[in-house]
Amino acid sequence: MKIIDILRKDLKIVLSDRKALITMIFMPIILSTILGFALSGSFMSSGDRDISKFNIAIVKNYNIDEELKKVNEELTRGMIGENLNKEEKSNLIKVSNELDIESIFFDEFLGSKKIKRIVNYRIEDEKTSRKLLEKGKVSAVVILPEDFIYDMIINFLTPFRNIVKIDMIGNPEYSIGFQIVEDIMNGFTDRISSIIIGKNVFLETVLEKDVGKRAFEDIETIKNKITNNIGNIEVDINYVTLNGKKTISSFGYYGAAMATMFILFAAGYGSKTLLEERDNMTYQRMVIAGISKWKMTIGKFFVIAIVALLQISIIILYSSIFFKVSWGNIGLIFLISICTVFSVAGLGIMIAGATFKAGNYKITIAFQSIIIQIMALIGGSYIPLETLPEYIQKISILSINGIALKSYLKCMMGYGIGELKLYLLLLLAMGVIFIFFGIILLRNGGDLKNA
């Protein structure tokens, strides 16, 4: 009997096992769909909010002294000052000098109790901030533009409205933190809007009734409301990913996460088949027929690899068709998949050797019910790694699914082979190590030794 015949026999057995097919093929589809919809906003439910804080860098591209001077000149000699008497000018300048925009943004807003529970911020220059982002030290960079102070004061204290453009730069590898910062900044802009709208309605009303003097006498009251109740002027936030890389949707993340988790069940399923064949006497008949023990082992290896590759292919097609997930370069996805299934098949052979040597299914059962769940947790299959404690993030490199997941996600983001070669080499190395130990176990595995 040739290896291809052994492979055909084993594949028929796998494909006829409905329970196994439901677990290995349909469960990842169902779970990736449920998780994709449930966590589409930020991959995190309200109950998970306190898992960790997110670090951000704030870049101040403005000179506060120069901009305050610019405000004073505008209120004194500019278009606004031309229409005011000396007393009105003096009152408006006094209020503008007392209106501390930085305190409103950094102390009143980012320093509030609710925000401090979620976000830690640090002030850096733009070059340093980008380096921190690349190294994963911060989840996002918020850039406050030139004329930020000037435009904010003009918007707060006058009928005029200047557009304030705040840029955000995010690393697609830390999409959760990026999305949370987005929500926070939207909260800032929404809250300020209500104040500005109210202020404009007040100024327009009193100017229409030709009691402009009273408007500027009451500007102190407006200033106090601003500092006590933070709001926004049309702050335009642009979101740009680091180095032009793509962000990942919840369906993309959990498609890859479930695929890399459930291929471990293929290893678990394949690992018990050798002992099952001995128990039902198929193994003995094959030995009597002169079939080499290594042909049987190679057949099991390729069965696990084919099933795992089939699982990955179905998830990729499903998520691409129904949720428009872009997995990246096809050739690179194929290479990642081959390296992944090689490692998984090697793991299956090692567990098969241990199971056969033990003469019972306890090892396989423990692998499928306990070890896979642990690997899924530390590998990021359930919760994105960036929200977990740092020590778990470090040991994720020890799990096949964790390495494979990182590889698929980087490919989705647009990274090339240069950034992925370490992960691919790790997968291949793991596969070789697993096969090596599998051979040792099978060589000393009772009946198989004498085959």
Q: Note the pLDDT tens digit of each residue in 236-269.
A: 445 455 665 677 888 999 999 999 999 999 998 8
Same domain, 328 and 353: yes
Query: At which residue do the structure tokens 């370069």 appear?
Result: 329
Q: Which of 244, 271, 303 is the last residue of a domain?
A: 244
Same domain, 60 and 188: yes
Same domain, 253 and 240: no
Q: Which of 189, 215, 244 is the last residue of a domain?
A: 244
pLDDT of amino acid 206? 54
Same domain, 401 and 435: yes
Residue type, 382: Y
Same domain, 403 and 427: yes
Which residues does the chain have with pLDDT short of 50?
A: 42-51, 211-212, 230-237, 239, 448-451
Same domain, 208 and 191: yes
Kindly report the number of other CB atoms within 10 A of residue 218's CB atom.
Answer: 14
pLDDT of amino acid 39? 72
pLDDT of amino acid 12? 80
Same domain, 284 and 408: yes
Same domain, 207 and 280: no
pTM beyond 0.75, yes or no = no
| Sheet arrangement for strand 235-241 | 119-123, 54-60, 140-144, 164-170, 235-241
Same domain, 298 and 325: yes
Q: In 139-217, which residue ranges form alpha helices assigned H by DSSP?
A: 148-157, 175-208, 212-217
pLDDT of amino acid 441? 87
| Structure tokens belonging to residue 181 | 């910062």
DSSP of 370-389: IIHHHHHHHHTSSS-GGGS-
Burial (0-12, 13-18, 19+ Cβ within 10 Å), 220: middle
Three-state DSSP at 60 gives strand
Q: Which of 209, 244, 279 is the last residue of a domain?
A: 244
Same domain, 150 and 133: yes
- Phi/psi of residue 174, nearest 5 degrees: -125, 55
pLDDT of amino acid 393? 80
pLDDT, mean over the chain: 80
CA dihedral 211, 213, 214, 219 (to 10 degrees): 130
Same domain, 221 and 318: no
Number of domains in the chain: 2
Same domain, 88 and 150: yes
Range(s) of the domain holding residue 200: 49-244
Residue type, 198: G
